[in-house]
C-alpha cells in the first residue's frame, strides 16, 4: 500500500510511531496529484513547495518529541472559499482572480496549529452556488458530475490526492459530493465550526465541515475544528470537546428514525434499496427502528430558496453591479433573481424556518437520529440538466440533489453522509444520518459502527 492510500487514522498512527515520515506521506500525495489532476481537476491551486516545507518541519518536530496530535504531518485540501494567508481564494470565479488572503480563516489556523499540511485549494461550484462543480470530474467516472459545491474536496479525498479535506455546506454542499464520490461528509451543527475567513454563500445556512475516507477520520478532524470564535456571530459558546474517534459496534438502546414520507419519495430504487439495507444493519447491531413523519415537507424547498437567494445576492451586491460579466451564467441568473425577491418573502422564510426547527426538535425527542438517503440519485452525466422519475415527473438536477440535504441546513441539525454501496453501474450511494443539535457524537458512533460491518473502502477506480 502506498502512503496516499492510507486513511487519516492509519496515516496518523504511522506518523506518530515514526513508521512513516510526513515527508514521505506528502510526497506520495503530491505525486498522486500529478498523476490524477489532468483527468479529475480537483484543485484550483497546488501548493507543493509550501507543503514540502511544512512536511519537513513536521518531521523535525516529531523527531524532537513535539507531536501535535493526529493531524500532524497529514496532507489536506481546503475548499477555495477558505482563506489561507498569502494564498489566493478564488471561489473558482473570475470575480476573485486577483484576490489573495491577508490572514488565515479560523479553521485554516486551527488545522495549521494541529500540524496539518496544506497541499492545495480545491475547486468549488462558483461561489458555492451550485450542486455540480462542473470543472471537476467524478472520481468514479470522469463522465459524471462531481457534485457540489465542494466537488473538488470530495474528489480529492476519493482519489487519494488529499488525506482529508474541508468543504462548506449551505444546502448539501459537503454531503452531496461526498455521497456521489463514495466518501464521508459531515455537516456539523450550525455554529459549531466557526466560519470567520470563509467566503459566504448564505450566512444563516452556511456550515464548514470535513470530508474524509472514514467516519473515524471525520471525528479526528472535527475535534480540531470545533470551538467558539467571537469573530463569527453565529459561533456557539457551548463546550466543543469530546469528539474522540468512536469505537465498537453495539447500538443497543438507540432509536433510529426511518422516514415514512419525503426522504424516500422520488428516489432511485437502487438508492432506496441500499439505504434500507444499511438501516436494517443498524437493527442487527441492536438499534430499534422507529417510523417517523417528517414535518412541514411542503415548505422545505421554498424555505431553503427563500433564505439562500436574498442572502447570496446581498453578499454579491457590489460586484454584481460592477463586474456582472465575470460571473458564470447560471450563478449570475440566481444572483440577479435575488434582487427581485420581496422582503416579505424572506421574512416568511425566516418564520417558516423557526416553525420547522420546532417541529424537527419534537421528532428528534422521539428518536436519537434519523437515517435517510443523502441524495435521491447517483451521479448524473456531466451536462445533464434534469432527472425523470418513474412516474413521469421531471426534476432539475440541482433541485434533486438539494432536496434531501437542505432540511439539515434550514434547521441547523448535524448530518453525516457515508457510503452504503453502489448502483449497477458502479457509482457510489450515500446515506445520511441526522441528529439533534450538538449530537455529532451519536452520528459518528452509528456511522462508525456501520463501517465496521463493511469491507475497507478502496480509492475510486477512475482516479
Measured between alpha carbons, how far is 145 from 298 in angstroms, rounded to an integer?
Answer: 28
DSSP SS3 for 247: coil
Measured between alpha carbons, how far is 401 from 148 in angstroms, rounded to an integer?
Answer: 9
Rounded to whole angstroms, what are the CA distances from 346 to 53, 142, 304, 411, 413?
48, 39, 10, 16, 21
Q: Catalytic residue among 150, 153, 173, 200, which?
A: 173
Q: Catalytic residue among 149, 202, 398, 405, which?
A: 149
Q: Catalytic residue among 79, 92, 104, 150, which?
A: 79
Measured between alpha carbons, how far is 205 from 274 in angstroms, rounded to an integer?
Answer: 29
Count CB atoms within 10 A of the CB of residue 319: 16
Contact 160, 4 (CB under 8 A): yes
Query: Edge-to-edge strand order for the sheet containing 255-259?
Result: 43-46, 117-122, 75-79, 164-169, 207-212, 184-187, 415-422, 428-435, 369-373, 255-259, 288-292
Whether 79 is catalytic:
yes
Measured between alpha carbons, how far is 129 from 133 in angstroms, rounded to an integer?
Answer: 9
Sign of CA dihedral 396, 397, 400, 405: negative
Helices and strands in the chain, H and E counts: 15, 13
Task: Compute the residue count for the chain.
Answer: 463
Contact 59, 134 (CB under 8 A): no
Whether 149 is catalytic:
yes
- Reference 83, options 192, 194, 161, 189; nearest CA is 194
Measured between alpha carbons, how far is 29 from 55 in angstroms, rounded to an integer?
Answer: 12
End-to-end C-alpha distance for the chain, whole angstroms: 16
Measured between alpha carbons, how far is 79 from 82 in angstroms, rounded to an integer?
Answer: 6
Q: Is 365 exposed, middle or buried (0-12, 13-18, 19+ CB in 10 A)?
A: exposed
DSSP string spanning 306-325? HHHHHHHHHHTHHHHHH-GG
Measured between alpha carbons, how far is 232 from 352 in angstroms, rounded to an integer?
Answer: 24
Which active-site residues does the annotation give?
A: 79, 149, 173
Amino acid at each position: 500500500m502506498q502512503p496516499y492510500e492510507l486513511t487519516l487514522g492509519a496515516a496518523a498512527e504511522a506518523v506518530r510511531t515514526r513508521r512513516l515520515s510526513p515527508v514521505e506521506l506528502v510526497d506520495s500525495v503530491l505525486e498522486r496529484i500529478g498523476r490524477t489532476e489532468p483527468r479529475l481537476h480537483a484543485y484550483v491551486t497546488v501548493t507543493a513547495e509550501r507543503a514540502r516545507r511544512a512536511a519537513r518541519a513536521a518531521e523535525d518536530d516529531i523527531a524532537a518529541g513535539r507531536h501535535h496530535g493526529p493531524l500532524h504531518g497529514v496532507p489536506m485540501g481546503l475548499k477555495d472559499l477558505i482563506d489561507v494567508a498569502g494564498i489566493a481564494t478564488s471561489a473558482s470565479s473570475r470575480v476573485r482572480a486577483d484576490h489573495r488572503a491577508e490572514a488565515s480563516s479560523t479553521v485554516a489556523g486551527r488545522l495549521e496549529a494541529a500540524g496539518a499540511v496544506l497541499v492545495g485549494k480545491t475547486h468549488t461550484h462558483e461561489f458555492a452556488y451550485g450542486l455540480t462543480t462542473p470543472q471537476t470530474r467524478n472520481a468514479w467516472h470522469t463522465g459524471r458530475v462531481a457534485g457540489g459545491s465542494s466537488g473538488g474536496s470530495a474528489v480529492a479525498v476519493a482519489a487519494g490526492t488529499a488525506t482529508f479535506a474541508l468543504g462548506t455546506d449551505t444546502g448539501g454542499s459537503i454531503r452531496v459530493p461526498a455521497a456521489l464520490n463514495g466518501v464521508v461528509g459531515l455537516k456539523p451543527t450550525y455554529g459549531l465550526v466557526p466560519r470567520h475567513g470563509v467566503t459566504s454563500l448564505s450566512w444563516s445556512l452556511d456550515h464548514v465541515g470535513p470530508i474524509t475516507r472514514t467516519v473515524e477520520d471525520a471525528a479526528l478532524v472535527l475535534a480540531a475544528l470545533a470551538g467558539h470564535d467571537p469573530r463569527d456571530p453565529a459561533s456557539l459558546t457551548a463546550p466543543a470537546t469530546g469528539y474522540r474517534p468512536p469505537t465498537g459496534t453495539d447500538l443497543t438502546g438507540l432509536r433510529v428514525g426511518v422516514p415514512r414520507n419525503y426522504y424516500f419519495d422520488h428516489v432511485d430504487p437502487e438508492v432506496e434499496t441500499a439505504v434500507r439495507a444499511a438501516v436494517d444493519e443498524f437493527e442487527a447491531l441492536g438499534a430499534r427502528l422507529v417510523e417517523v413523519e417528517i414535518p412541514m415537507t411542503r415548505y422545505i424547498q421554498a424555505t431553503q430558496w427563500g433564505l439562500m437567494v436574498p442572502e447570496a445576492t446581498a453578499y454579491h451586491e457590489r460586484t454584481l453591479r460592477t463586474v456582472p460579466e465575470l460571473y458564470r451564467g447560471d450563478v449570475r441568473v440566481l444572483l440577479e433573481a435575488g434582487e427581485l425577491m420581496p422582503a416579505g418573502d424572506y421574512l416568511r422564510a425566516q418564520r417558516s424556518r423557526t416553525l420547522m426547527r420546532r417541529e424537527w426538535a419534537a421528532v428528534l425527542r422521539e428518536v436519537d437520529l434519523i437515517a435517510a438517503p443523502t441524495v435521491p440519485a447517483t451521479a448524473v452525466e456531466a451536462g445533464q440538466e434534469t432527472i425523470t422519475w418513474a412516474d413521469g415527473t421531471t426534476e432539475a438536477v440541482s433541485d434533486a440533489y438539494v432536496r434531501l440535504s437542505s432540511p439539515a441546513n434550514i434547521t441547523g441539525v448535524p448530518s453525516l453522509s457515508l457510503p452504503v454501496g453502489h448502483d449497477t453501474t458502479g457509482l457510489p450511494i450515500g446515506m445520511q444520518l441526522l441528529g439533534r443539535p450538538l449530537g455529532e457524537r451519536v452520528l459518528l458512533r452509528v456511522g462508525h459502527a456501520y463501517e465496521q460491518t463493511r469491507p475497507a473502502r478502496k480509492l475510486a477506480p477512475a482516479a
